[in-house]
Amino acid sequence: MKTIVCLCALLTLALLTGCGGSSYTPSNPGSAAMATSDVIRVGDKITVQLTGTPDGGWIREKQIPASGDIQVDLLPQSFHAAGKNPAELEAEITDAYKSQKIYTNPVINVVAEERYVNVGGDVRGPSNIVWRPDSTVMSTINACGGFTDYADRHAVRIIRGKERFQVDCVRAASDPGADPAVYPGDQIYVPRSLL
């Protein structure tokens, strides 16, 4: 009986190590997330608000089209929003109103809609979690209530567009350098342990 149990354990271990997907070894998990933390992308929804004007201003909700360009009231030109952070877009629109002498002291505020990371599998509360610039695999899973008792913490899968990789969350729990950043639109899947 002992021999059968050992053989089953070895077979399971062999299958797990042979499974597809690459392991993730971040060089600096926080720097990339901070660099892209608030960059506006095609498809994002933003709110543009103008205040500080005699006419009372306005609020406009915009979805960034494939061109990446938006237009605002009273200005003939469009503004390339994709790839900029909200502060850069605010400054560009403000400068245009001033340089064209439409308003002397306009205040432009650009707010991007919240972005999400999807978490599924063997976590206590699978759901979409609001992405923050400091989000990592472990912090996102913890926001779902953590792992279930049957979760395979060694083989957590991350799907990012066409890219797929695995994270060993047992290692990540003790080594922050092994806990990679997550990005808006990422999918985290926690498989069930076979043992």
Instruction: Give 20-37 pLDDT, tens digit per residue.
Output: 444 544 433 344 443 455
In angstroms, rounded to a whole number, what is the distance separating the alpha carbons of residues 125 and 118?
11
Question: Which CATH architecture describes the domain 20-37+114-190?
Answer: Roll (3.10)
pLDDT digits (tens, 9 = 90+) for 135-179: 999 999 999 999 999 999 999 999 998 999 999 999 999 999 999
Report the CATH fold assignment for 45-112.
Answer: wza like fold (3.30.1950)
pLDDT for the residue numbered 128: 96
CATH 3.10.560.10 segments of the chain: 20-37+114-190
Residue 132: pLDDT band with limits 50, 70, 90: confident
Rounded CA gap, 5 and 38, in Å? 51
User: At 185, which amino acid appears?
Assistant: G
Give every strand in the sheet of 58-63, ordered side by side: 58-63, 45-51, 107-112
Report field, pTM of the whole predicted structure over 0.85: no
Tell me: the pLDDT tens digits for 60-101?
A: 999 999 999 999 999 999 999 999 999 999 999 999 999 999
Q: How far is residue 42's CA from residue 40's CA, in Å, rounded to a whole number? A: 7
Give the residue ranges of DSSP H helices in 146-185: 169-174
Residue 11, pLDDT above cutoff 60: no
Give the residue range(s) of CATH 3.30.1950 domains in the chain.
Answer: 45-112
Give the pLDDT of residue 195. Answer: 74
